Chains A and B, each alone.
Chain A
């Protein structure tokens, strides 16, 4: 989160809405620890990362859907071992769960 602050502050100061996705849980082999985070502005700017680059693209589209009112905040899973998991997998074969929300607090 710390490495996101400068960009997030800049976006918030301009009144641009911001979504943030944080790793809350990892099963099996995961490249990043809980707390790894990325933020996406409503203008499509991105900062931070939540995996080794495997799922960032999918996180950006979910974040933009959230800001567009097309989905609710909540837990998003990526990986192969979970029925609800998105099609995008992790190259390392594990599952990560992210919590996606708007940073409106």
Chain B
């Protein structure tokens, strides 16, 4: 199997993989005198598996280690090394520098949507555009069907608590939980479940009045810590004046992006400073 085949297989299966490529540097193997070793390439996975070579075993070891770190952080960028993988500035004095581009692909972020309602289909659609792996959850078998949510990656007929017990541990700061049910039987355990995870975004649908009532019910269920309640984005979404399910989905997803980037979500015209931070 070629390195490209290995890379594309991992990408298609949505498994973590990093590709390290020498983009500038002196000849290491003598076959391209004065030039760059442009055949240097490593494919690194989250296990101990490494394929390919950058031309030096020690360089391979150090770059593979850094590639795994980039993979964990979900980052891509250029790193500098000496010909044998030296990374400390003292070791690099007087030696040539090899520039390696490490590109990492982590599995897509997850969005769990609780409640199989009209808004769910629109939100799932927009979330797919943004690259999320979307799971729709509802306890009502007649609503939580594949036919109603063909765009979702997964439709689960389940109550929130077992879902969080089973898979809550997989949620990270990149992921989102959107609770669209409006039904206290469902949204109280969904909120409690989400708060017990590391999930980066928790949005709960409902009017300001609904939210106030929900806070009372959450308090009855023992969810009353200010630092927990502070994580809830409710009413859900940005103030766009959204009306339709599709517009609401855009307002929710825009809020998720703004929360992640820490930006103000006002018109760029009204702000100053760099656009792409």
Seen from chain A, the residues whose Cβ lies within 8 Å of a Cβ on chain B are: 1-2, 5, 8-9, 12, 22, 24-26, 28-31, 33-35, 72-75, 92, 94, 99, 101, 103, 105
Asked if A105 and B4 sit within 8 Å, CB to CB, the answer is yes
Query: In the assembly, what is the distance between CA of A9 and CA of B275, in Å?
Result: 36
Question: Taking the complex as formed, is B103 at the interface, i.e. its CB lies under 8 A from any CB of chain A?
Answer: yes
Closest residue of A by beta carbon distance from B23: A99
The interface size bin for chain B is 20 to 34
Asked if B275 and A92 sit within 8 Å, CB to CB, the answer is yes
Contact of A25 among B11, B35, B36, B78 (CB under 8 A): B78
Seen from chain B, the residues whose Cβ lies within 8 Å of a Cβ on chain A are: 2-4, 7-8, 11-12, 19, 21, 23-24, 35-36, 38-39, 41, 52, 76-78, 101, 103, 105, 274-276
Query: In the assembly, what is the distance between CA of A1 and CA of B12, in Å?
Result: 11
Asked if A24 and B23 sit within 8 Å, CB to CB, the answer is yes
Closest residue of B by beta carbon distance from A34: B76
Q: Which residues of A contact B41 (CB under 8 A)?
A: 105
Contact of B35 among A72, A99, A101 (CB under 8 A): A72
Asked if B103 and A35 sit within 8 Å, CB to CB, the answer is yes
11 A-B residue pairs with CB within 8 Å: A1-B7, A1-B19, A1-B103, A2-B105, A24-B23, A25-B78, A26-B276, A33-B76, A73-B36, A101-B38, A105-B2
Q: Which residues of B contact A25 (CB under 8 A)?
A: 77-78
Asked if A99 and B101 sit within 8 Å, CB to CB, the answer is yes
Do A103 and B78 form a contact, CB below 8 Å, given A2-B105, A92-B275? no
Asked if B11 and A2 sit within 8 Å, CB to CB, the answer is yes
